[in-house]
């Protein structure tokens, strides 16, 4: 009996080692999930050409053993797809330390193919960008590279028609910067729009029919998404907030006429491991309503 227990224990240990190895070395560094979604977007003129939108989030530079190679790969994947617009969903920096400049410079280096592509690109900042004290430096660097950083405001996207697509950017819910009302205040009532936020917890505060497509990051899709182990994942670490963690929100989440998609992002939080939650770049094809 004792021999069988020892063997079972060794087998379990071997499985655990393999799982950790996979989660640290394989899934986050070699597996890039490319999600493609088609959305009928109100406000787009009948017969208008589709608009393709790419979404990247959660670069998390400053996290130990950061996922820099995957960030470069995802940025290049977005460029190769040649979308009409790219959205960056915040948390560029994880923990910058006393001098944020090296981390900010690394962010721009990793995103360089995208920044040099000429594709209209817009960003919001995330809670880690605020917590690390990198807001001013990130905003200056990104906007200097041609990427507007949106804080509760909207902008039209050039090259998307006579009634252009607008990007509505909402500030980070932590530390309390999110103001959906302000973000929507300058938007023409019938303008087609994508609402970009870092924290999906801001979504329920959007008025009905104001966000037919909202996109967010922040959750890493649980990062360690093993069945029955929420205490090891994002869900357990942030159980004080009720959020959609992965993909499309249920239809009854948020106000009528609004829809939310949460991406798995690219980087890490707390530990450099991803299991059943691979890095992700998402492409949305926006079409006029049928």
Rounded-to-integer distance, Cα 163 and Cα 88, Å: 23
How far does Cα 234 stand from its chain's mean position?
14
262-280: burial string, b at 16+ Cβ within 10 Å, e else: bbbbbbbbeebbbbbbbbb
- Mean pLDDT (the chain) is 91
Residues in the chain: 290
How distant, in Å, are the alpha carbons of 123, 149, 184 from that of 103?
Answer: 17, 17, 32
- Please list the pLDDT of the chain residue by residue as tens digits (290 residues): 677 776 766 667 777 778 889 999 999 999 999 999 999 999 999 989 999 999 999 999 999 999 999 999 999 999 999 999 999 999 999 987 788 999 999 999 999 999 999 999 999 999 999 999 999 999 999 999 999 999 999 999 999 988 899 999 999 998 889 999 999 998 998 999 999 999 999 999 999 999 999 999 999 998 988 776 655 555 555 555 567 888 999 999 999 999 999 999 999 988 899 999 999 999 999 999 98
Q: What is the gyration radius of the CA atoms in the chain, in angstroms?
A: 20
Q: What is the pLDDT of residue 244?
A: 80
One DSSP character per residue, 156-187 reads: EPTTS-SS--EEEE---TTTT---HHHHHTTS
pLDDT attached to residue 123 = 98
Which tokens go with 139?
Answer: 């905003």
**Amino acid 203: pLDDT:** 95
Dist CA 153 CA 276 (whole Å): 35
pLDDT value of position 234: 59
Please, is 19 exposed, middle or buried when counting C-beta atoms within 10 Å of its C-beta (0-12, 13-18, 19+)? middle
Q: Hey, what CATH topology would domain 31-287 get? A: Purple Acid Phosphatase; chain A, domain 2 (3.60.21)
* CA gap 39, 278 in Å, rounded: 23
pLDDT of residue 97: 75
pLDDT of residue 225: 83
Q: CA–CA separation, 127 vs 281, rounded Å?
A: 20
Domain boundaries, the chain: 31-287
Question: Do 126 and 178 meet the contact criterion of CB atoms below 8 Å apart?
Answer: no
Can you give the pLDDT at residue 145? 97
Query: For residue 38, what pLDDT is reported?
Result: 98
Query: Which tokens belong to 187?
Result: 């938007």
């Amino acid at each position: 009996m004792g021999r069988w227990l020892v063997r079972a224990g060794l087998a379990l240990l071997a499985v655990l080692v393999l799982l950790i190895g996979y989660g640290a070395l394989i899934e986050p560094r070699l597996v890039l999930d490319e999600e493609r979604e088609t959305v009928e977007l109100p406000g787009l003129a009948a017969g208008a050409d589709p608009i393709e939108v790419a979404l990247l989030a959660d670069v998390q530079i400053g996290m130990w053993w950061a996922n820099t190679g995957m960030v470069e790969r995802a940025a290049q994947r977005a460029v190769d797809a040649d979308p009409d617009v790219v959205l960056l969903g915040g948390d560029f920096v994880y923990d910058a330390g006393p001098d944020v400049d090296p981390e900010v410079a690394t962010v721009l280096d990793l995103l360089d193919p995208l920044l040099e592509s000429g594709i209209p690109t817009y960003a919001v900042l995330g809670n880690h960008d605020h917590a690390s004290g990198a807001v001013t430096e990130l905003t200056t660097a990104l906007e200097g590279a041609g990427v507007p950083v949106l804080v509760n405001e909207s902008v039209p996207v050039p090259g998307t028609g006579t009634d252009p697509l607008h990007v509505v950017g909402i500030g980070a819910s932590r530390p309390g910067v999110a103001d959906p009302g302000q973000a929507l205040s300058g938007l023409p009532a019938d303008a087609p729009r994508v609402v970009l936020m870092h924290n999906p917890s801001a979504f329920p505060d959007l008025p009905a029919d104001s966000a037919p497509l909202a996109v967010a990051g922040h959750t890493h899709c649980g990062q360690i998404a093993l069945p029955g182990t929420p205490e090891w994942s994002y869900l357990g670490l942030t159980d004080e907030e009720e959020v959609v963690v992965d993909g499309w929100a249920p239809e009854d989440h948020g106000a009528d006429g609004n829809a939310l998609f949460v991406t798995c992002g690219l980087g890490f939080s707390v530990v450099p491991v991803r299991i059943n939650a691979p890095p992700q770049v998402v492409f949305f094809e926006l079409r006029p309503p049928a």
